Amino acid sequence: MPFAVERLKINYKTLEEFKKFREYGLQELSMLEDLQANIIEDDADSPFYGIYDGDALVARMSLYLIDAKYDRYFDPPQDFYELMKLEVLPAYRGRGLGRMLVEHAKSLGKPIKTNARLGSAPFWEKLGFVPVKYDPERDRGENPYVWLPDGVRLAPTKPRGEGRKPNA
Ligand SMILES: CC(C)(COP(=O)(O)OP(=O)(O)OC[C@H]1O[C@@H](n2cnc3c(N)ncnc32)[C@H](O)[C@@H]1OP(=O)(O)O)[C@@H](O)C(=O)NCCC(=O)NCCS
């Protein structure tokens, strides 16, 4: 069967599948707690998209829609997606699954910001992402890469010295 990207539902099966991924942490645990406490319904939409091989989840990413009022990356300021936790299980790498997930995110029609992990820059560049000039106050240790749809530009960078001082 050909691989396809789908929106993941929050249920016990999905949350069990998540344990196979290296980047498993508070986000997943809080979804589990919310499910157990009936704060969210079984099969609610999650912020995750994934690719299955049969019953097994083999690749995933999370996408959060960030409101334009918090946008400091794009010009004009607008709603954008923050892409996190992109991960393809080792046995499935190099077969285009990472690309499929990122292309799916692009198809949603909004700019995308991600934090490129060490060594992953060539992957992001291949997919049309560009690095952003590091702004310590905004980026706080991240290595931001963005994807710009047509008509969207990078926000102008602030001159040095402007903005909040460290520890202020
Ligand atoms: C990075 C990662 C998501 C790539 O997924 P993948 O399914 O193996 O990548 P794809 O097969 O879709 O590759 C797409 C293109 O990027 C290239 N590419 C993939 N990983 C690369 C890397 N580390 N360096 C350079 N090029 C890379 C591929 O060669 C391919 O190019 P092509 O289409 O011209 O052949 C995967 O290796 C992974 O999960 N790594 C661990 C977690 C991680 O680093 N996540 C990145 C988020 S910070």
pLDDT of residue 166: 60
State the DSSP code for 70: G
Smallest CA separation from ligand 1 atom 26, residue: 123
pLDDT tens-digit readout, 22-35: 999 999 999 999 99
- Please name each of the domains of the chain with its CATH number: 5-154 (3.40.630.30)
Q: Is the pLDDT of residue 131 over 60?
A: yes
Q: Say if pTM beats, i.e. exceeds, 0.75.
A: yes
How far is residue 5's CA from residue 27's CA, in Å, rounded to a whole number? 21
10 burial (CB, 10 Å; 0-12 / 13-18 / 19+) is buried
Separation of alpha carbons 133 and 139, rounded Å: 9
Average pLDDT, the chain: 94
Here the tokens at position 10 are 């929050």
The alpha carbon of 88 and the centre of ligand 1 are apart by a number of angstroms equal to: 8
Q: Each residue of 58-84: pLDDT tens digit?
A: 999 999 999 999 999 999 999 999 999
Residue to mutate (ligand 1; options 20, 21, 61, 123; most atoms within 8 A of CB)? 123
**What does DSSP say about strands 80-88 and 112-115: parallel, antiparallel, or unpaired?**
parallel
Tokens of 67: 């409101």
Rounded Cα–Cα distance for residues 41 and 35 (Å): 6
Residues 6+ apart with CB under 8 A from 13: none
Residues framing ligand 1 (Cβ under 6 A): 86-88, 93-99, 116-117, 119-120, 122-123, 126
Strands ordered across the beta sheet of 130-131: 5-10, 44-53, 56-66, 80-88, 112-115, 144-147, 130-131
pLDDT tops 90 at residue 147: yes
What spacing in Å lies between the alpha carbon of 129 and ligand 1's midpoint?
A: 13
Average pLDDT in the 78-95 region? Answer: 98
Residues 73 and 113: beta-carbon distance below 8 Å: yes
Q: Give me the pLDDT at residue 13, please.
A: 97
With cut-offs at 50, 70 and 90, classify the pLDDT of residue 157. Answer: confident
Nearest-CA residue for ligand 1 atom 40 is 87
The closest residue, in CA terms, to atom 2 on ligand 1 is 98
